[in-house]
């Protein structure tokens, strides 16, 4: 490598580090107004805030996390919403958490929802099977790709928030592994799928 190339490399590295340091101090709006707008009750559903286990709190750091239990018609689910605006590392591919907690993924399929698609994941642990429905949402589009989430949040930081709103990760799980009619859930709990 020539001396000139080395200088450009060092200049690029210095610029990247400097911009990285500056960006971390520039406050970007988070998704909390959208998350707070999710109602606790409606025509076909009623919910309540649930306590996040203390052992999980360090995993989230400064990320904003909502955990609620909902009764949607005759189905009971737990909803997790993670806003990683203040800690991007708290939001990642949900398969990582499942596998890290000892679950074996049996299947994963795209599942159409209003404004895009989610991922329906079936997993097994110690002979017990359960489903989870997961997606990322920026308020107008829903998608199941963690790579797209990473790209969207990176672009948002590079443009100081001008590229769009902060996306959130949404996970819906049945209470006690009971089977869920996911299509019925999306029809009866529309505010969640508009978040």
Higher per-residue confidence, 72 vs 14: 72
pLDDT of 1 > 70? The answer is: no
Q: 8's torsion region: left (phi>0), alpha (psi -120 to 50) or beta?
A: alpha
Report pLDDT digits (tens) over 30-77: 888 999 999 999 999 999 999 999 988 888 888 899 999 999 999 999
pLDDT-derived band at 22 (thresholds 50, 70, 90) equals low
Residue located via tokens 């919910």: 47
Check pLDDT > 90 for residue 92. Answer: no
What is the 3-class SS of 159-183, one letter each residue?
CCCCCCCCCEEEEEEEHHHCCCCHH
Q: Determine the pLDDT at residue 139.
A: 92
H helix runs in 47-90, sequence order? 57-60
pLDDT score of 19 more than 80:
no
> Does residue 122 have a pLDDT over 90?
yes
Closest CA to 160 of 63, 55, 85: 85
Instruction: Please report the pLDDT score of residue 86 as a whole number.
Output: 85
Task: Give the pLDDT confidence score for residue 124 in this predicted structure.
Answer: 94
The pLDDT of residue 181 is: 95
User: Would you state the pLDDT for residue 106?
Assistant: 94
Per-residue DSSP letter, 52:
P
Per-residue pLDDT of 178-194, as tens digits, reads 889 999 999 999 999 99
Domain ranges of the chain: 28-194
Collect all residues with Cβ–Cβ distance below 8 Å to 119 and sequence separation of at least 6. 94, 108, 109, 110, 111, 133, 134, 135, 144
User: What is the reported pTM?
Assistant: 0.86
Q: 126-179, pLDDT tens digit by residue?
A: 999 999 999 999 999 999 999 999 999 888 888 888 888 999 999 999 998 788
* pLDDT computed for residue 16 by the predictor: 75
């Amino acid at each position: 490598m020539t001396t000139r190339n080395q200088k450009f490399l060092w200049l690029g590295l210095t610029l990247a580090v400097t911009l990285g340091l500056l960006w971390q101090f520039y406050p970007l709006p988070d998704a909390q107004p959208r998350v707070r707008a999710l109602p606790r009750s409606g025509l076909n559903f009623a919910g309540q805030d649930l306590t996040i286990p203390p052992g999980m709190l360090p995993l989230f750091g400064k990320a904003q996390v909502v955990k609620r239990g909902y009764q949607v018609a005759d189905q009971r689910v737990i909803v997790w919403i993670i806003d990683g605006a203040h800690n991007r590392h708290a939001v990642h591919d949900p398969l990582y958490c499942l596998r890290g907690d000892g679950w074996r993924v049996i299947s994963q399929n795209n599942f159409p929802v209003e404004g895009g698609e989610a991922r329906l994941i079936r997993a097994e642990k110690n002979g017990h099977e359960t489903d989870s429905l997961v997606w990322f949402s920026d308020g107008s589009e829903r998608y199941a790709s963690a790579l797209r989430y990473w790209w969207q949040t990176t672009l948002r930081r590079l443009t100081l928030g001008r590229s769009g709103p902060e996306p959130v990760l949404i996970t819906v799980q049945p209470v006690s592994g009971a089977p869920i009619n996911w299509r019925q859930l999306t029809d009866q709990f529309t505010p969640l799928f508009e978040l």
